[in-house]
Structure 1
Amino acid sequence: MQHKGWQRFFFRGKRLHPIWRTLIYLLGLLAAEVALDLLVALVYVGTLILAGRPPMDALGVLTSGRLPYPILLGTGLTRLTGALGLALLLGRFLDREPMEMMGFCRARAGRDGMTGIVLGLGTMLALGGTRLALGWATADRGLGTLSSLLLDAVALFPLALAEEVAFRGYLLRALAGWRGPIVGVTVTSLLFALFHAFNPNPSWLAILNIALAGVVFALAVERSGTLWLAVGYHFAWNLAQGPLLGMPVSGMGWEGLLALGTGGPALWTGGAFGPEGGLLATVVLLLSLPVLWATTRRRATVAGVCRRQRAAAEARFGPLPHLHYRLDVERRFFDDIARSVERGDREGEVVLLLRHGDGRLLLHTKSFYPTNAYRLPSGGIRHGEPVLAAARREVEEETGLALGGAHPLGLLTYSLRQGRGRLFFHSWLVIGEVEGEPVTDDAGERIAGFRQVPPDALPQVATRLRALPPEWAGWGHFRALAHDAAFRWLGEEEHTAETELA
């Protein structure tokens, strides 16, 4: 869809412009946090007053510099509700993208979360150990207990998850998809720091370090493709800093198992704001970047790869249409895709619209398909392979032809279901020109024949795919969707071209 004049200020393709989606989310998040935090505080103070505490004493609890546990837990839960609810709402109706694109990959939650926890604990313990080695702290026994540590963990986890959903889930995705990961990481890290600027005892160095922490967490998301690595890192960083080592957490005092406190030069230790306000945190965070980079090598999820591919494609070709489907498929088909993804053989696929000079499109069938099951050719995108490079390679392998004038037509994403199993997958529809008769020399492809059809025959091809025998029904429905989308988007592309000529 082409917009002119003032429309370009508000829309990008068929969606609201990322700037406006970002502003809507930020304003909604701010309003929700203020309202919900106030509600939690009023409920807690009201409960104290009803229990017999003088009103001024009850209000004084809120300004003591150390949040009471019920407020800490309530704030975490309400902020998570606001951040997640708003992200899902806007993702559904404004972004029109599945939640997997925000980094919610259930299959990787445990592994990535534990990796993040190890990194977060290691980073903060290294910082605390450095303070001890330099004589800026002593390992005194704190007032915290194992029970309080567990309770604090329960309260800190939703806070960390809420901030990751907001800044590295919704906002990073929206901004990186618009202007690339560098802009996305930079802007969200600055916003992350700004949201902490109103904590007690801030300094410019503290704000800088929190922005740097935002870069670390954003890198974790960009490299892994999930939120869980950043959530684990963020959660463990806070847990080790306060409840374990007894240092302030972003300006908030804490009773920990140990009491490292705030001793030493404030420039290095952060003083009353805590470690995040000192140069030691700057050094530790910078050193953690190469460790994180090495830890996340070849770890990106298919959804994360899809998000990067989409950002790159739209940066070059402009806004592209996108459709998402939830499908139940056969066990054989589900397992085949899952294995290829796990091996790294397939990070999504390309569906090829190979157009001859007369406008007809090439279909093929394979020896093991049901009778007369012709479809558009497709092939997997290998690890690190650009979408158009994958398309050219697949055309060469499956037809022996050269692909010219190729460009992406649109993107299909799927949430595939098999029993309790869930799998995210995506297909790029790529259109280009070919000449000559197709021939395949790759016996492994098992291609049994080719056929050429006009574009307006694609709905009939989709209908035949949906009518395959029961054991092929899920696969046929999956494949039919690309033909439906191709027919629809080819019509829109033709209409756009005619409009521009007019």
Structure 2
Amino acid sequence: MLPAWFTHNRLYDLARSGRRLTSWWGVIGIGVLIVFLSQVFAIPIVLAKLALGGMSSASSDLLPPLVSGFWLSLTLAVSFGAMIVLVWLWIRLYERRGMATIGFEPQRALFFYGRGLLVGLASFCAVVGLLAPFGFVAVEAGDPAQVGLAALGGVLLVLIPGWLIQGAAEEVLTRGWMLPTLAARYRPWVGVLISSLFFAVMHGLNPNLSVLALLNLGLYGLFAALYALREESLWGICAFHSVWNWAQGNLFGFEVSGQMVSGGMLFNLMETGPDWFTGGPFGPEGGLVTTIVLVMSMAIIWWWPATSQNPAGQPVTVDR
């Protein structure tokens, strides 16, 4: 039997507070359109970078971390910020509800967000901690100007606002809008399943994608759904997602979902073990090590004491 927090959740009630709920085919179609349009907003940034930096034949890793970090942070902030705006426009103009109804209620927001940052950082450190005892991680030689204190400015600039907006945007689309909308209109498992699959597929064009990497992306979607439902809020999983990506790329120097990131890194590590375990060129997200951490994390969440913002018998009121 499924627990009460899964079958009856405040996030579902918030979704029902609007005038209408988008159908499953509308959620998928509008979701695809939002993903595509949001990336279009990055084109002017790319063109400006090529024009001002002369980067047509040079790599971003030749730039000082502060400069490359600025460009990456700006690209993430603009393109994924557009994703948040597009979701907001849809729910405001079609579903007739506000941003608070996707899990951004102000109650305990700082607590949820701060906890999400800590849990996300600890979770990725657990990935590195599982690699280390097997000797599957090592320090990689590289440009000293791109690593450590010399890169600190770029590393922080990429996090704020870049990764903070990027992680939040993907959660707003999938766990904030898709999941509760489908759960409220159909069944909770429909929302969890479709939002998780959509999240995996939206990364399907990433370089170096493997079957295990695709599975892990789907598992992350399931984990994120459980996290958001357990808190009945989107704040925590937004923070988790952002700091996970930042730790992976700019803290430890791994690839993030198959892509190297700019802005430098505090530690320059590389995987040295078998790709099926370490993730290889896709980064740790493509390996069994992340599968283990995600499964363990979901088990912990299942036993995590519920944080209900809507005591039994109380009507749901939101800012429309």
2:314 is matched with which residue?
Answer: 348
Gaps of 5+ in 1: 1-12, 303-343, 350-411, 416-423, 425-502
**Which residue matches 2:229?**
222
CA distance in 2, matches of 1:234, 1:347: 33
Matched, 1:233 2:240: yes
Partner of 2:158: 152
1:181 aligns with 2:204: no
User: What whole-Å deviation, never above 9, does each CA across 1:78-133 have from its counterpart, x for those lacking one?
Assistant: 23332221222111222123322200112222111121112211111111011111
Q: Which residue of 1 aligns with 2:293?
A: 284
**What's 1:121 paired with?**
121
In the alignment, which of 27, 30, 34 is matched to residue 35 of structure 2? Answer: 30
Give yes or no for contact 1:29–1:83 (8 Å, CA) kept in 2: yes
With over 3 angstroms needed to count, the CA separation of the structure-2 counterparts of 1:132 and 1:139, relative to structure 1, is farther
Structure 2 letter corresponding to 1:212: L
Letter in 2 for 1:299: T
What is aligned with 1:429?
Answer: none
Are the equivalent residues in 2 in contact too, given 1:102–1:227 (CA < 8 A)? yes
Deviations 1:430-479 (A, max 9, x none): xxxxxxxxxxxxxxxxxxxxxxxxxxxxxxxxxxxxxxxxxxxxxxxxxx
Q: Map 1:46-195 onto structure 2 (within 5 A).
A: 46-48=51-53, 53=54, 56-57=56-57, 68-138=68-138, 143-145=147-149, 146-154=152-160, 155-195=162-202
Q: Distance in 2 between matches of 1:83 and 1:348?
A: 33
**Residue 206, structure 1, aligned to residue 213, structure 2:** yes
Which one-letter code corresponds to 1:152 in the other structure? Answer: V
Instruction: Give the deviation of 1:24 after TM superposition.
Output: 4.8
Alignment RMSD: 2.7
Distance 1:276 1:201 in 2: 11
d(CA) in 2 for partners of 1:57, 1:414: 52
Secondary structure of 1:348's counterpart equals coil
1:69: Cα distance to partner? 2.6
One-letter identity of the residue aligned with 2:183: A
TM-fit CA distance, 1:68? 3.8
Structure 1 residues 139-148 or 239-248, which shifts more? 139-148
1:158-209 per-position Cα deviation (integer Å, ceiling 9, x unaligned)? 1101111111111112211122221111111111111112122111111110
- Structure 1 length normalisation: TM-score? 0.54
Structure with more of its chain in helix, by fraction: 2
Name the structure 2 match of 1:266: 275
Give the match's secondary structure for 1:261: strand
Which residue in 1 is equivalent to 2:265? 256
Q: Are the aligned partners of 2:70 and 2:157 in contact in 1 as well (CA < 8 Å)? A: no
- Counterparts of 2:31 and 2:169, CA distance in 1: 13
Q: 2:121·2:247 contact (CA, 8 Å) conserved in 1?
A: yes
In structure 2, do the counterparts of structure 1 residues 176 and 16 end up closer, same or farther at CA, with 3 Å as the change threshold? Answer: closer
Greater share of strand? 1
Question: Structure 2 stretches of 5 or more lacking a match?
Answer: 1-17
User: Under a length normalisation based on structure 2, what TM-score does the superposition of the two structures give?
Assistant: 0.82
Shift of 1:347: 5.5
Q: Does 1:15 align with 2:20?
A: yes
Q: Which residue in 1 is equivalent to 2:8?
A: none
C-alpha distance in 1 between matches for 2:158 and 2:22: 40
- Correspondence 1:243 to 2:209: no
Are the structure 2 counterparts of residues 172 and 284 from structure 1 closer, same or farther at C-alpha, using a change threshold of 3 Å? same
| 8 Å CA contact 1:120, 1:233 repeated in 2 | yes
| Partner SS for 2:317 | strand
Cα offsets for 1:17-69 (capped at 9, x unmatched): 52354145314313322311222211211222xxxx3x7426x659xxx9943
Query: 1:147 is matched by which residue type in structure 2?
Result: G
The worse-fitting range, judged by mean Cα deviation, of 273-282 and 110-119 is 110-119
CA distance in 1, matches of 2:313, 2:163: 34
Instruction: Show the counterpart of 2:44.
Output: 39
**Aligned partners of 2:234, 2:79: CA distance in 1, in Å?**
17
1:43/1:136 CA distance change after superposition, 3 Å? same
Instruction: After superposition, give the CA deviation of every residue in 1:404-436 in whole Å (9 maximum; x if it has no partner).
Output: xxxxxxxx7343xxxxxxxx9xxxxxxxxxxxx
Higher-Rg structure is 1
What is the percent sequence identity of the aligned residues? 31
* Conservation of the 8 A alpha-carbon contact between 1:140 and 1:259: yes
- 2:297 is aligned with 1:413: no
Supply the distance in 2 between the matched residues of 1:292 and 1:16 (Cα, whole angstroms): 28
After TM superposition, the structure 1 = structure 2 runs for residues 353-392 of structure 1, keeping only pairs within 5 Å, are: none
Where 2:192 maps in the other structure, the secondary structure is: helix
Asked if 1 retains the 8 angstrom alpha-carbon contact of 2:163 and 2:243, the reply is no
Quote how far apart the aligned CAs of 1:348 are. 2.1
Deviates further, 184-193 or 141-150:
141-150
Judged with a 3 Å threshold, the aligned counterparts in structure 2 of structure 1 residues 300 and 72 are, in CA distance, closer, same or farther, namely: farther
2-structure distance, mates of 1:118, 1:184: 27
Contact 2:271 2:280 (C-alpha < 8 Å) held by counterparts: yes
- The answer to which of 140-149 and 226-235 deviates more is 140-149
